[in-house]
Amino acid sequence: MDKKIIIILYGAVSIGLLIGFAIGMFIQIQKYSPDIAKLKIFEPTIKYLSSKVVPSILIYGQVVNVDGRNITLEFQKEQLVVEIKTDAKIYSYQKPVDGSKTAQGQTESNFIEIKKGDSLNVTGQVLGDGKLVGKSVIILNKINN
């Protein structure tokens, strides 16, 4: 008789744990899955930002990571990943000469010159699918000179 009670108790506990696990997973899925109806409110915004009326937007920040053509920029503790187009123009300011604090002007640079810690201005564009791409980059101050 004792064996029968232990087997029944073991089975009931196992079933209870499985039910609890399933409920927990369901709650987490509901908590973190996007509400498609709420996302539809952004469609007009994406449409306007990708229109010809808004030819570009300015993205500013310090380089946190460079992964292929994707640059992660950070400004005031917020981060944004921007894919830089392969035909994007890259510019940097020339170093000041003779102790001056004024930059000597812009020169054309290469994408490989962008390093972690550099401050960038990226002229970007929002595509029709909501993707953000960089059309040109200005390296404002080069950290790794």
Please state the domain extents for the chain.
2-33, 42-141
Distance CA(119)–CA(55), nearest Å, equals 23
pLDDT of residue 85: 94
Work out the mean pLDDT of the chain and round it to a whole number: 82
Distance CA(97)–CA(108), nearest Å, equals 18
Residue 31 has pLDDT above 70, yes or no: no
How far CA 54 is from CA of 45, 119, 123, 124, 125, in Å, comes to 11, 24, 12, 10, 8
Residues 81-96 have a mean pLDDT of 87
Q: When comparing pLDDT for 48 and 135, which is higher?
A: 135
Q: Give the pLDDT band of residue 101 (cuts 50, 70, 90).
A: low
- According to CATH, what is the number of the domain 42-141? 2.40.50
